[in-house]
Amino acid sequence: MGKLNVTLCGIPLDNPVIPASGTFGYGYEFAELYDINLLGTFSFKGTTREPRYGNPLPRIAECTAGIVNSIGLQNPGVDKVIAEELPKLKKVFHKPVMANVSGFSAEEYVEVIEKLEGEEQIGWYEVNISCPNVKKGGASFGMTPEGAETVTKAVKAVTKKPCIMKLTPNVTDIVSIAKACECAGADGVSLINTMYGMRIDLKTKKPVIANRMGGYSGPATFPVALRMVYQVYEAVKIPIVGIGGVSSAEDAVEMMLAGATAVGVGAANCVDPWASKKIVEDLPRVMEKYGIGSLGDIVGGAH
């Protein structure tokens, strides 16, 4: 049997499969279905300083090859995550977990990380810089190199744990954003977050989602995500978590060949709650089929 293990920012993973933030809750919900310890790790739901109800309903629209969502970072807030969610997670997951952190100012990101810093189970921070910067009129931090650099420097100043910056694809040049993160001290990058999309209801002749537009994810985004991972791998030396439309073990291997050290599985979990488990279990077959002895050896192999 081939070797599935990889190392992400100095922390060993049994395999590279990571359910993506927002599609796996705080983990224990899925632990009712299967032993989630078979995963490499997972990124828990985006956590903010204050509790958030999220955006108005309806906020999900189905598509032929994915979904459009405008959840709006619904979460109970960092204090409740520490007091209630993480203790429940610790009972069912016995590996380091990735904490997805969101904020609407650099100060908010810092405050959330400072509060989470004492949680031993957190191995990495995945810093979502696709959030709108309220001080700059609502544009995402990750849409400019300067914004990405500001948040990266701020969070790196308050933690010694690895910080992986999650990048938005809704930019002209994702490479310049990734390079700015690396120069500011980021330990890794994850890409891509969702793409802008929408649906219109033919009966009402109005947008399906109350917010009109949302984040599009699903199998159709895979070629775009793969291309961006490939480009970023050639520009930076820090590890990449490749996310976007991954729904099979073959997709995971392809993403690693493009340059990803680990692979995020997002929308597939919403279609099939066992999707990540099935990908982990199918990796040995795919590795044997394509003559791969160790997944760690194929990272960036397509370059």
CA distance 108 to 49: 6
Say what angle helices 174-183 and 145-156 make with each other, to 10 degrees: 30
- pLDDT, position 134: 61
DSSP state of 54: -
Own/partner pairs, 24-33, CB within 8 angstroms, 24+ separation: 24/269, 24/276, 26/81, 26/85, 26/86, 26/88, 26/89, 27/89, 27/92, 27/93, 27/97, 28/88, 28/89, 28/91, 28/92, 28/93, 30/269, 30/273, 31/92, 31/93, 33/273, 33/274
- pLDDT, position 124: 98
- Domains parsed from the chain with CATH numbers: 6-297 (3.20.20.70)
Q: Which of 9, 63, 131, 183 is catalytic?
A: 131
CA distance 255 to 268: 15
- pLDDT, position 286: 98
Contacts of 202 by beta carbon, 8 Å cutoff, 6+ apart: none
- pLDDT, position 138: 61
Confidence (pTM) = 0.97
Say how many C-beta atoms besides its own lie within 10 A of residue 107's C-beta.
12
- pLDDT, position 214: 92
- pLDDT, position 120: 96
- pLDDT, position 90: 97
Dump strand ranges (E) for the chain: 6-8, 11-13, 17-19, 43-47, 60-63, 66-69, 97-101, 122-128, 163-166, 188-191, 195-197, 200-201, 206-207, 214-217, 240-243, 262-265
CA distance 276 to 278: 5
Structure tokens at 137: 């009129």
The parts of the chain modelled with pLDDT lower than 50 are none
- pLDDT, position 140: 86
* 131 catalytic residue (yes or no): yes
Pick from 45, 148, 29, 169: nearest CA to 98? 45
- pLDDT, position 137: 62
- pLDDT, position 131: 75
- pLDDT, position 287: 98
